[in-house]
Structure 1
Amino acid sequence: MRGIDRDTGQPISGPAYLRQRIANVLTTAIGSSVMRRDYGSEIPAMIDMVVNPANVLLLYGAIAGALQRWVGDFKLTRVELLRGQQPGQFVLALEGQETGQSATPEPTQISVPLRITATGLTTA
């Protein structure tokens, strides 16, 4: 699948485009997209939650649900939340299988760096 890099405007494809799509879905709050109110994930609503095992499990469920609904050509098989080097930074380590036309038999590993700021959740 091919698309446009949101930072440069240049064409991108493959793992870079998949990573961009996943990051966009996970960092978009449900209800914030005007023409598609149900697009996004519950993750931005979880910003102020304490990082404990129960809430991490809720986060994993939100990730799986959002990816299943909005990134249908990627089947998530593993997710891990890692702390970043700075306060408010985390990395989502995702593993799964691409199922689209350009799918490869090997598992795909994607890291999505996240940063929590005063204005919300962004990719780092």
Structure 2
Amino acid sequence: MAGMNRRTGRWLSGWDHLLQSLEVLFSTMVGTRVMRRSFGSVVPALLGRPINQSTVLRFATAVIVAVELWEPRFRIKQISFEKSRNSPEKLRLGQLTMSLVGEYRPRAHLGDPTPEGGERTINF
């Protein structure tokens, strides 16, 4: 899949296009797209909430559901919130870092779920 970089207007394809698509997916609230009301995630609704176990679980669930529904090119195998990257100081400031580990399947939107390369990690 290919498209345009939303910041530079240049051609974008492959892994970089997937990363941009995930960014759009996680920043779009369900119901805000006029012609595609079901597109998006509930991630934006969770921003600004206290970082506790319940919120982190809801956040991880929202990410998994959104990717499963809208992004066939990435299959999540694991979500982690590493303690070393989420110090108490960062959490007090409302900063939570997560890693998505999964398979990149560049032709999955065409019905071919064959992964390319090994597992890949995306850090947010």
Interval containing the TM-score (normalised by the shorter chain):
0.7 to 0.9
Q: Any unmatched runs of 5+ in structure 2?
A: 108-113
Task: Provide the secondary structure at the position in 1 that maps to 2:63.
Answer: helix
Instruction: Tell me the SS of whatever aligns to 1:76.
Output: strand
Q: TM-score, length-normalised on structure 1? A: 0.78
Paired positions, count:
112
TM-score by length of 2: 0.78
1:46 aligns to what?
Answer: 46
Pairing 1:1-124 to 2, within 5 Å after superposition: 1-81=1-81, 83=86, 87-101=93-107, 103-112=115-124
C-alpha RMSD over aligned residues: 2.2
Q: Give the counterpart letter for 1:30 in structure 2.
A: V
* Greater fraction helix: 2
Whole-angstrom distance in 1 between the partners of 2:86 and 2:13: 28
Residues 1-20 of structure 1 deviation map (CA, whole Å, 9 limit, x = unaligned): 22211101111122211111
Unpaired runs of at least 5, structure 1: 113-124
Structure of greater Rg: 2
SS in 2 for 1:21: helix
Q: 2: CA distance between counterparts of 1:97 and 1:27?
A: 22
Between the aligned residues of both structures, percent identity stands at 28
Cα deviation, 1:75-109, whole Å, max 9, x if unaligned, reads: 11122345496944443321110223284130121
